[in-house]
Amino acid sequence: MNKLEQLKARSQVVADTGDIAAIQRYHPQDATTNPSLLFKAAQLPQYQALIGESLDWAKRHCHDDASIPGQAAIKLAVAIGAEILQLVPGVVSTEVDARLSFDTRATIDYARRLISLYEQAGVPRERVLIKIASTWEGITAASVLEREGIHCNLTLLFSFCQAVACAEAGVTLISPFVGRILDWHKAHSGREDFTAEEDPGVLSVRNIYHYYKSRGYDTVVMAASFRNTGEIEALAGCDRLTISPQLLQALEEDDGNLTGGLPEQTEPLARPNRALGEAEFRYQLNSDAMATEKLAEGIRNFVQDQERLELLLQTHLIGRTETNAATNP
C-alpha cells in the first residue's frame, strides 16, 4: 500500500478542498470548505452554473441589490457542499461568515440559515458540520447549536484553552491547526528546520488528543493546516486528518512504510472539577501570543476571502445584467 492507503487504515482522511475533481480522485471520507477554498472553487469552470443559479436565487430573495452578493455567497456555499456530498460518504463542513466571529447570536442565526438551505436541498443536517471560529463567542454559539442537533466544527484552533472549552461545550469536532503554528514558531524563533517529532503544531495536536482521549471527551480531533507529509505521518492515528490535494498526491505517490504516529493511550484520567469560564479562557488565550496572533490573522484572512468571493459574485451579477440588457434592449 502507498502511504495514503496506510494512513486511511489508521485515520479518517478528509479532503481540504472544494475541488470536485480532487475529491473524485482521492475518495476521502469527508470534505471541508472555508471562504478561501470557496473563492478558489468559484473560479473553476465546473462551478459556473452553480454561480448563476445562486445569483438567480439571491435576486428572488433579496429586497435590495446590495445584499444580493452576500446572499448568493451563502447559497453557493450550500450548493457546492451539496455537490461534494454526492461524492463523499460522510459529511461536509461549511463555514459561518468570519465577520460574525465575535457575535454569538448572529453566528447562531447564520448556522441555522445554512442548515435550512441544506435541508431545502434535500441534505439532512446530520451530513453537515457548521464551521465556526474558536472564539469564546463562537464556542458559546456552538454549544447552543449542538443542543439543537446542529453539529459544529470549531476551526482556527491554536491553543489548549480553546480545545478545553470546545470539549466542555460538547462540540462535535475541532480542527486544531498544525502548519500555522509551525509558521509562527519559524518566524519568531529564527529557526527553519523542525523535525516532525519536535514540530510545535504536531506537539499541540498530540497534547489535545491525549487530553481528550484520557478524559473520555467525545469531541472528534481533526488535525488541519499541514505544511508537509511529515506532520501528517506524525499524527497518524488521530481521529481525522484534513489534507490538501497536493499533500494527498504526495502521500499517494510514496510507497514507503508509514511509521510513527500518535503515542499509545495511557490510563484514563478524571475530568476537571470546574469548567473553564469566560474570564479564564480569555486570560489563557491572551497569554499565548502565538494563538492570539494566529486566531486574529485567520479571521482577517477568511474575512478577506469572503469579501473577495462576494466581489466575484458582484462581477458576475453585473455581467449577467449587461448581457440581458444587450439581448433585450
Which cell numbers hold the place of 31?
470534505
Instruction: Tell me which amino acid residue 112 is.
Output: R
DSSP state of 306: H
Q: What is the pLDDT of residue 282?
A: 98
Domains of the chain: 3-318 (3.20.20.70)
Residues of the chain where predicted confidence (pLDDT) is lower than 50: none
Element (H, E) at 220: strand 220-223
Q: What is the pLDDT of residue 269?
A: 87
Instruction: Tell me which amino acid residue 58 is.
Output: A
Q: What is the pLDDT of residue 26?
A: 95
Pairing of strands 12-16, 152-157: unpaired
Four-residue CA torsion sign, 142, 99, 96, 225? negative
Start-end of H helices in the chain? 3-8, 20-26, 35-41, 48-61, 68-85, 104-120, 136-147, 160-169, 179-189, 200-215, 229-234, 245-252, 278-287, 289-327
Instruction: Tell me which amino acid residue 270 is.
Output: A
Output phi, psi for 155, to 5 deg.
-110, 180
DSSP state of 265: P
User: Which of 1, 2, 85, 11 shows the shortest CA–CA distance to 242?
Assistant: 11
Q: What is the pLDDT of residue 19?
A: 87
Tell me, yes or no, if 131 is annotated catalytic.
yes
3-state secondary structure of 58: helix
Distance of alpha carbon 26 from alpha carbon 248, whole angstroms: 7
* Residue among 3, 75, 131, 294 flagged as catalytic: 131
Q: Which residues of 58-76 are buried (b: 16+ CB within 10 A; e: fewer)?
A: beeeeeeeeebbbbbbbbb
Distance of alpha carbon 142 from alpha carbon 11, whole angstroms: 25
Which cell numbers hold the place of 162?
480553546
Torsion angle of the four alpha carbons 286, 287, 292, 293, in this order, in degrees rounded to the nearest 10? 130
